[in-house]
Amino acid sequence: MTDMTSNTPSRSQSQSAADEGAGREEKRLGFALTLPAQLLVLFIALFPILMQVYISLTDWSPLDGIPWYRAYELWIGLTNYVDLAGDPRFWSAIWRTLIVMLICVPVQFLLGLGLAILFVDEFPGRRAMYSTILVPMMVVPAVAGYMFFMLFQSGGPINGILSFLLGSSVQIAWLSDPDLALLGVIISDIWQWTPLMFLILLAGMLSVPQDQQMAAVLLGAGWWRRFFTIVLPRMKTIIVIAIAIRVIENFKVFDNFYIITGGGPGVATETISIYIYKVTQNDLIWGYVAAIALAILIVLSIVSGMAISRMRKG
């Protein structure tokens, strides 16, 4: 046999011992080199939160004339949180925010999904329509707020159109009736944010492999079966992301609501963000505000945590 089978005697046993752990050393060096940057990032992310935690345990207000870092002089422990638990205005704001969210997000989702289904296939004018649909998303929320503020005036276009359609003069006081005011701000939110939902869902729908859908059709599946067994299950992750984004954003909704109704009439459209704003600007009890903000942060962290764990699974 002329084979050169491969076993030349070993030479460098001592060398190998030195090499051992080279990988670990490298990792340690890498960690050391990036440590300053990591600390900076950590600081940027954590500092405001820690500051809030600190302030929320005090009775500090900018009017007291002591700098924030000496707020410990006004230490009141968990009093702010206890107050918060018993604050009916806080709970009603939370409740109202939830109602807005529970109406807005499903409606936005269903509208967005429906539009995405329409836009998955090519049709004449698809591009132009697509750009048009995305316009509301690009409008500055404050501007959108003014738009709806005008639309909903008792002499405004909405009443005008209704009058025209019904043939008699309609004088609905949209923004002064507590229930209608809430409906008004909900409509403005849906108008503005359905396009985002549509955009995300369309991207998700387009990423469902064509051949899998074809395979389903060739196996005799109709549209509904294909949609519910192939398309939707494969979009699960992206649906979770889209809904999580809107839930979080809805919790924070402020500018257009504030401009349309200012939280009124009374507190009829006062969401949690508007409440915080009012407490901050009018009452100036910042320790209390910090406590509210932290409470919301915790709720939102739970929501996004659930979304992220869902994404990991998918």
- Residues of this chain that interact with other proteins (CB under 8 A) are 1-8, 10-12, 15-16, 19-20, 22-23, 209, 211-212, 214-222, 225, 229-230, 233-234
What's the min distance (Å) between Cβ of 131 and other proteins? 25
What's the min distance (Å) between Cβ of 156 and other proteins? 49
Q: Name the residue nearer to other proteins (CB basis): 176 or 237.
A: 237
- Exposure string of 40-66, with b = 16+ CB inside 10 Å and e = fewer, is eeeeeeeeeeeebebbbbbbbbeebee
201 within 8 A of 117, measured Cβ to Cβ:
no
What's the min distance (Å) between Cβ of 235 and other proteins? 10
Other C-beta atoms closer than 10 Å to the C-beta of 14 total 7
Q: Name the residue nearer to other proteins (CB basis): 62 or 209.
A: 209
Helix locations, 124-254, DSSP H:
126-138, 141-151, 157-166, 178-206, 210-218, 223-226, 232-251
Nearest residue to 150 (alpha-carbon basis) of 260, 286, 40: 260
Element housing 104 (H / E): helix 88-120
Task: Report the distance separating Cα 192 and Cα 116, nearest Å.
Answer: 16
What's the min distance (Å) between Cβ of 231 and other proteins? 11
Q: Name the residue nearer to other proteins (CB basis): 26 or 283.
A: 26
What's the min distance (Å) between Cβ of 279 and other proteins? 47
- Quick one: how far is CA 314 from the chain centroid? 20
What's the min distance (Å) between Cβ of 31 and other proteins? 18
Q: Name the residue nearer to other proteins (CB basis): 12 or 282.
A: 12
What's the min distance (Å) between Cβ of 32 and other proteins? 19
Q: Name the residue nearer to other proteins (CB basis): 234 or 252.
A: 234
For 154, list phi and psi in degrees, rounded to 5.
-65, -25
Q: Name the residue nearer to other proteins (CB basis): 221 or 303.
A: 221
Max intra-chain CA distance, the chain: 107
Q: Name the residue nearer to other proteins (CB basis): 19 or 122.
A: 19
For residue 222, the one-letter residue type is G
Which residues, in sequence order, are bridge partners of residue 58? 75
275 within 8 A of 291, measured Cβ to Cβ:
no
